Structure 1
Amino acid sequence: MFESDRVLALDVGASKVVVAEFAVPRGRPIELLNYGIGRLDITPEGESDVSAYIVSTIRDIMREKSIKVAPLLMSLSGQAVFPRFVKLPPVTRDKIFQIVQYEAEQNVPFPIEEVVWDYQLITGDDGELSVMLVAVKIENVQKLTECVLAAGVEPEVVDVAPMALYNTVRYNYPDIEGCVMILDVGARSSNLVFIEGSRIFSRSIPVAGNAITQELAKEFNVAFADAELLKLQHAFVSFGGVTAGPENETADRVSKIVRNVVTRLHAEVNRSINFYRSQQGGGTPSLVLLAGGTSIIPHMDTFFREKLKVEVEHLNPFVNVAVGGNLNAEKVAGDMHLLGEVVGLGLRRSLTCPVEINLMPPALVAKKVFRKRQPYFGMIAVGVALIMLCWWVYLGHMQKIRKAQFGVVEQKTKALEATMGNLQRVLSDEKKARDKADRLLDIVRLKTVWIEIIEDVYSRMPEGMWLSSFTPVTQAVAGTNQITYIEIEGNGFVDKLVDKPEKSAIEEFRDKLRSSPYFTKNTEIKRQLLKESYMRQFSISVALKQPIPVK
């Protein structure tokens, strides 16, 4: 994908920015060379446009860590995207994209032209094909990519944070069995990712670190920034019940508030597990991997271990990913909960990942395409200049030849002018007679053609079908109006039109029309629906092999 042997990974969260630099040696796993984590210090009720904070934070990290520009892969937060999981009907491979596009238009809660969307096909253990649709509003992703460009780097891939975590776990935990759930507890939201065989399911929950900070601000009647400081200094998940709290009264009050919020999070996690089991056919998680900035609050793992009755551990993104010798191993271990997304992004550079989503905004895609074509534009300009030079030399030579020939031609022309008048009169009379004959022949031919076309259509109709409309469609072709399509609308009795396993009765009728000597393979079904319990309605656009001129 890239020519560089280095790659940058960028994860922009609600409260922090992570920039990581990876080496990508040929034939070996990626290696973390450098990274930096910067806080955005933005309150939820603060400025609506955080672009300036993001740009300055990225620049500060790259300057302080001496990270040089390289191809960059970035991720969007799970809360910013709209994931949908849809089971596909049995269709042939060549129709999958059409079905996926239709499902995207039906499931994305915005007009399809206002979003960037991508999809990943998922084959179940039973061979059933599903699709994971991921969409984001163009204005949201474009605002973020503009921040990255303003910081001096250009994104090559726009991934989604939960999918980056999925790829991280798949690479670092290749031997996991059963259902594994990633619980990424961030600042503004918590992301759940279920991994089970080839199955994947994700969901974003609006309960996370900021919810704790807001409850602390209410309880202690302090500003959000002060409440955040209280959380960092005293927060842990209290054990509840009759267990004695800490001697520090402030820590005791903070821990109880933390437990209340985490209990709300647990309720949402339980709902998501039940939904995954009932609607997606998944199993109960046997392992929970914690990630995210809020996940390291003391006793968070103990709380979920007791509540979910499963093994809970913190996600380690460096099981199979090397860490450069220049990095402090203890510091990397302390920051592992924030590095899962950037590792998943780095893996996109070195290998084909199980899930590969790219939500690059259309304007940036067009810019990249234009840049790739620029060298060809220069070559074309040189080629045009050479062609013009050749024509100039050729025309100069031809001018001399034509000048000599002109005298001879002029003499012959004068000799022919005498007979030209008589010849033109004869040709004019002939043309009038021919035009009259052609009009009469066209009338006879058109009547015959329409009769043959209608008879051919009726000969291919199955029993129980009738036509309600037969409308020619006229288009301007080469300066003349021609009938190129016929819009056919009709109905059929449900009990007469019997569908086959591989195609419906309407599709079979369409295929018969395609095999007609009068129609082309561009004949397509525009609509088919069950109008009443006993009747099906359909509309077919029939393309003529030989357009019929309209005079």
Structure 2
Amino acid sequence: MAKSNAVWGIDIGQCAIKALRCRPHEKDEQRIVVESFDYIEYPKILSQPEAEPEELVREALEQFLSRNDLTGDRVAISVAGQSGLARFIKLPPVESKKIPDIVKYEARQQIPFALEDVVWDYQQLTGGSEEDGFALEPEVGLFAMKRDQVARALSPLETAGIEVDLIQLTPLAVYNYVCFDRLEDLQSQPYNPADPPESTVVISLGTDTTDLVVTNGYRVWQRNIPIGGSHFTKALSKELKLTFVKAEHLKRNATQADDPKAVFQAMRPVFSDLLAEIQRSLGYFSSIEKSAKIGNVIALGNAMKLPGLQRYLSQNLEQEVTPIEEFDRLSAGSASGRSQFKENVLSFAVAYGLCVQGLGLGQIRTNLLPEEIVRSRLIRSKKPWAVAGIAAILAGLTFNYMTHVSAWSETDTEAMKAAERRADTVKQTSATFKSQSSELRTAFETIQQTGQNLVSNVEGRMRWLELLKALDAAMPRDERTLEDRKETSEDISDRNEIHIEALDVQQFGDLQGEYFSLVQQNYLDARGGQPVDAAAGTGDEEGLAEAPVEEGAEGATGGLAGPGWVVELTGHHYHNMSQQNQSAKFLSNTLIKALEEGSVELPDGENGEMIQVSFADLGISHPWVAYSGKLWDEILDPEADLAGNGMGARQFGRPGRPAELAAEGGAVAEPESKLIELKRYDFIVQFCWQPRTRAERKLLVEQRQQQEAAAAEAAATAGEDAVEVSQ
């Protein structure tokens, strides 16, 4: 069944059924159009002792359905405020996604029944603010009805064959009407709890009860007063000794009575009680909402037509009570112009509010229709599609079966068997070839592994020789001959040489994880900061030397994935006369720089030709000064014997050069010795070494050449394109 965009709002009251059919306005989203209405008054008020409410409502609904077609329209109904529960709860600042859990906890506290026995819903009211996912001072409306009350409200409509889509409490339907029809757009200005907009008071006088609704559009407060129009009738019946029917007629025509004064005198206690309840309710509201300001007072309900009631309330409330004469945002269709609609306009506010919510324009969007009813209707609506889908599947399977049967019936069995035998023969031949291929592949892999083992043993022995040769090439040299050197502090301090005392290595399965991640900060400090001059220090603690990093230096972690070695060089030097090139600075300018940018001559060329191989291709990277000592004064006797008094002769020059003794033949020289005072700097240098075989280095060079060729070709192509464009 196709759904329309219209909604029926049905208010089943104690005196009559009021219904409106509305749809959205074509041009104005802030208006709706009333297309039809109905007002069916019962022969008797439902609360009369001799009345049969179920029968009266059933007959009225039958009459309603005989006049109106509900096909495809959504239906919203109201239930009296006293039949349900409404609570407005202010929550503390809380994360927005946790509001449902908090509301469920509050529901257990606020609803005086087990949650399984009620239908409940909630909504966060507008006007609250939210920052970074947290709701600040949110207010939540919690609404509930017992399931038996819901079933009682739905029973007459289900009997009449009317499917209800929405159930709402009468005071909340009035609230939706007021917000939509009487108040300005709530989103046009932010809500300020300290200075809220004026509140509108709605007095909806019903047959048995009165709903008092106070709202400023953002917040709503409501109370049900157990006094209605029938109480005036009962007062007349009691005081004037009349039947209920005659008393009701007299109430509606009080001004035409023989003794109007007696009529109003009989109803005076009810006037007073109603006023007292309204005043007490407004006083309580003002006590809990101290910043609220009362503005307009609106009167609803046909009982407000009672002569003198409006004036009585206005005088005693000191506020003008204004019955509505029309609905501002309800566009006048053919229905709204009829006299019956105008005569009963005061009683259509609830139905109007239901239509507003049904069209998605209401401030309150909660629905007390049980979830199981919604689910069963959804399943029922999907059944035709499910049946159609199953039928389509069965049709497809049948067609597929018939196709296979037709193909099988036309098959030549003997020809098929011959083809199957040929296919089996080909399959066996293919399996034989696959088995032979697998055996040959296994044999090849075995031979290849043997060759790799043999080659790796040779290359493994060569790695350490290559490392030692690379370290020898990285050492700074004093290119002068021995005859040109002088045994003076100035000459020794000016020599470009360092002295290696020890070389240690340690293997790691994962250089990055097991070594570099532990020293990374020290490495960055040593390579990225200003060099630390130990001679300038005043304390006794040892520190890290920090050498400046040059442009293009390798990144902190580049190329350290996998296993490798950490090589540690322990040594000292005496090149400490010039502050611009002493201690760690001299080390950085010589050894560290050579380890980063240098190369060594190795037989990596064709047919063992000697070529320059960079340290980076050898796998050397991340050199740094792991320990930087302080400068200290050392006194040397160049003529002392090695076995003398502990101040034996010292070796000056690069490692491997023989030491010169102070005297020939190992004897201690008798002439006066010349003591030399030098500034000594001790250090420890570490670097990472991930050895590469010659084959790996050759492949690396080839890849680099290919990349350079591709880059050059791309640059040449770009240049030609630029020339063509310029021409």
What's the TM-score, normalizing by structure 1?
Answer: 0.64
**Quick one: distance in 2 between partners of 1:149 and 1:304?**
40
Label 1:47 to 1:140 Cα distance change in 2 as closer, same or farther (>3 A).
farther
Q: Does 1:160 align with 2:163?
A: no
Residue in 2 that maps onto 1:526: none
- Report which stretch shifted further, 45-54 or 201-210: 45-54
Residue in 2 that maps onto 1:199: 219
Report if the CA contact (8 A) 1:164-1:345 is conserved: yes
Residue in 2 that maps onto 1:149: 158
Q: CA deviation at 1:192?
A: 0.8
Q: Does 1:36 align with 2:38?
A: yes
Q: Does 1:20 align with 2:23?
A: no
Equivalent residue in structure 1 for 2:113, among 110, 113, 138: 110
Residue in 2 that maps onto 1:88: 91
**Quick one: distance in 2 between partners of 1:281 and 1:380?**
62
Residue in 1 that maps onto 2:304: 295
Residue in 1 that maps onto 2:366: 357
Equivalent residue in structure 1 for 2:228, among 188, 201, 208: 208
Residue in 2 that maps onto 1:248: 258
Report if the CA contact (8 A) 1:43-1:224 is conserved: no
| Number of residue pairs aligned between Structure 1 and Structure 2 | 390
**Secondary structure of 1:354 counterpart:** coil
Q: Does 1:267 align with 2:269?
A: no
Q: CA deviation at 1:254?
A: 2.1
Q: How does 1:383-532 map to 2 (within 5 A)?
A: 385=394
Report if the CA contact (8 A) 2:166-2:358 is conserved: no
Q: How does 1:278-293 map to 2 (within 5 A)?
A: 278-281=287-290, 283-293=292-302
**Secondary structure of 1:155 counterpart:** coil
**Quick one: distance in 1 between partners of 2:146 and 2:251?**
33
Higher strand share: 1
Q: CA deviation at 1:47?
A: 6.7
**Quick one: distance in 2 between partners of 1:294 and 1:255?**
15
Residue in 2 that maps onto 1:11: 11
Q: CA deviation at 1:43?
A: 4.7
Label 1:272 to 1:51 Cα distance change in 2 as closer, same or farther (>3 A).
same
Residue in 1 that maps onto 2:609: none
**Quick one: distance in 1 between partners of 2:148 and 2:326?**
32
**Secondary structure of 2:253 counterpart:** helix
Label 1:189 to 1:353 Cα distance change in 2 as closer, same or farther (>3 A).
same
**Secondary structure of 1:342 counterpart:** helix
**Secondary structure of 2:327 counterpart:** coil
**For residues 470-504 of structure 1, what are the alpha-carbon distances to aligned partners after superposition, in whole Å with 9 as ceiling and x for unaligned?**
xxxxxxxxxxxxxxxxxxxxxxxxxxxxxxxxxxx
What code does the residue aligned with 2:252 have?
A: L
Structure showing greater radius of gyration is 2
**For residues 185-214 of structure 1, what are the alpha-carbon distances to aligned partners after superposition, in whole Å with 9 as ceiling and x for unaligned?**
101110011112411111111111122222
**Secondary structure of 2:165 counterpart:** strand
Q: CA deviation at 1:146?
A: 2.6
Label 1:162 to 1:350 Cα distance change in 2 as closer, same or farther (>3 A).
same
Q: Does 1:171 align with 2:180?
A: yes
Residue in 1 that maps onto 2:148: 139
Residue in 2 that maps onto 1:371: 380
What code does the residue aligned with 2:219 have?
A: R
- Report which stretch shifted further, 113-122 or 170-179: 170-179
Label 1:87 to 1:281 Cα distance change in 2 as closer, same or farther (>3 A).
farther
* Structure 1 residues not aligned, in runs of 5+: 236-245, 406-551
**For residues 412-458 of structure 1, what are the alpha-carbon distances to aligned partners after superposition, in whole Å with 9 as ceiling and x for unaligned?**
xxxxxxxxxxxxxxxxxxxxxxxxxxxxxxxxxxxxxxxxxxxxxxx
Task: Calculate the aligned-residue CA RMSD, in Å.
Answer: 3.2
Label 1:362 to 1:351 Cα distance change in 2 as closer, same or farther (>3 A).
closer
Report if the CA contact (8 A) 1:304-1:312 is conserved: yes
Report if the CA contact (8 A) 1:118-1:133 is conserved: yes
**Quick one: distance in 1 between partners of 2:150 and 2:110?**
19
Report if the CA contact (8 A) 1:316-1:340 is conserved: no
Q: CA deviation at 1:32?
A: 1.7
Residue in 2 that maps onto 1:520: none
What code does the residue aligned with 1:101 have?
A: K
Report if the CA contact (8 A) 1:287-1:311 is conserved: yes
What code does the residue aligned with 2:144 have?
A: A
Label 1:192 to 1:21 Cα distance change in 2 as closer, same or farther (>3 A).
same
Report if the CA contact (8 A) 1:285-1:310 is conserved: no
**Quick one: distance in 2 between partners of 1:58 and 1:43?**
14
Percent of paired sites with the same residue: 24
**Quick one: distance in 2 between partners of 1:274 and 1:190?**
17
**Secondary structure of 2:94 counterpart:** coil
What code does the residue aligned with 1:367 have?
A: S
**For residues 292-328 of structure 1, what are the alpha-carbon distances to aligned partners after superposition, in whole Å with 9 as ceiling and x for unaligned?**
1211212222111111111221134511211213554
**Secondary structure of 2:352 counterpart:** helix
What's the TM-score, normalizing by structure 2?
Answer: 0.49
Q: CA deviation at 1:34?
A: 2.1
What code does the residue aligned with 1:36 have?
A: D
Q: CA deviation at 1:378?
A: 1.6
**Quick one: distance in 2 between partners of 1:280 and 1:391?**
74
What code does the residue aligned with 1:121 have?
A: Q
Q: Which has the higher contact order (CA 8 A, sep 6+)?
A: 1
Q: CA deviation at 1:25?
A: 4.2
* Structure 2 residues not aligned, in runs of 5+: 130-135, 186-196, 422-727
**Secondary structure of 1:303 counterpart:** helix
Residue in 1 that maps onto 2:253: 233
**Quick one: distance in 1 between partners of 2:267 and 2:78?**
28
**For residues 214-265 of structure 1, what are the alpha-carbon distances to aligned partners after superposition, in whole Å with 9 as ceiling and x for unaligned?**
2222212333333222222217xxxxxxxxxx9832x222212323212111
Q: CA deviation at 1:22?
A: 2.2
Q: CA deviation at 1:128?
A: 2.2
**Quick one: distance in 1 between partners of 2:82 and 2:48?**
17
Q: CA deviation at 1:364?
A: 2.4
What code does the residue aligned with 1:73 have?
A: A
**Quick one: distance in 2 between partners of 1:192 and 1:340?**
14
Equivalent residue in structure 1 for 2:204, among 184, 193, 199: 184
**Secondary structure of 2:125 counterpart:** strand
Q: CA deviation at 1:338?
A: 0.5
**Quick one: distance in 2 between partners of 1:97 and 1:164?**
24
**Secondary structure of 2:59 counterpart:** helix
**Quick one: distance in 2 between partners of 1:49 and 1:89?**
49
Report if the CA contact (8 A) 2:24-2:32 is conserved: yes
Q: CA deviation at 1:120?
A: 2.2
Label 1:330 to 1:386 Cα distance change in 2 as closer, same or farther (>3 A).
closer
**Quick one: distance in 1 between partners of 2:125 and 2:307?**
37
Residue in 2 that maps onto 1:532: none
Runs of 4+ in 1 over 6 A off after TM superposition: 390-397
**Quick one: distance in 1 between partners of 2:313 and 2:263?**
19
**Secondary structure of 1:201 counterpart:** strand
Residue in 1 that maps onto 2:285: 276
Report if the CA contact (8 A) 1:194-1:201 is conserved: yes
**Quick one: distance in 1 between partners of 2:263 and 2:215?**
34
Q: CA deviation at 1:10?
A: 0.3
**Quick one: distance in 2 between partners of 1:344 and 1:247?**
36
What code does the residue aligned with 2:155 have?
A: E
**For residues 82-127 of structure 1, what are the alpha-carbon distances to aligned partners after superposition, in whole Å with 9 as ceiling and x for unaligned?**
1112111222111111111111121112222111111221245785
**For residues 50-78 of structure 1, what are the alpha-carbon distances to aligned partners after superposition, in whole Å with 9 as ceiling and x for unaligned?**
23321210221342x44554321111122
Report if the CA contact (8 A) 1:71-1:156 is conserved: yes
Label 1:68 to 1:113 Cα distance change in 2 as closer, same or farther (>3 A).
closer
**Quick one: distance in 2 between partners of 1:43 and 1:21?**
25
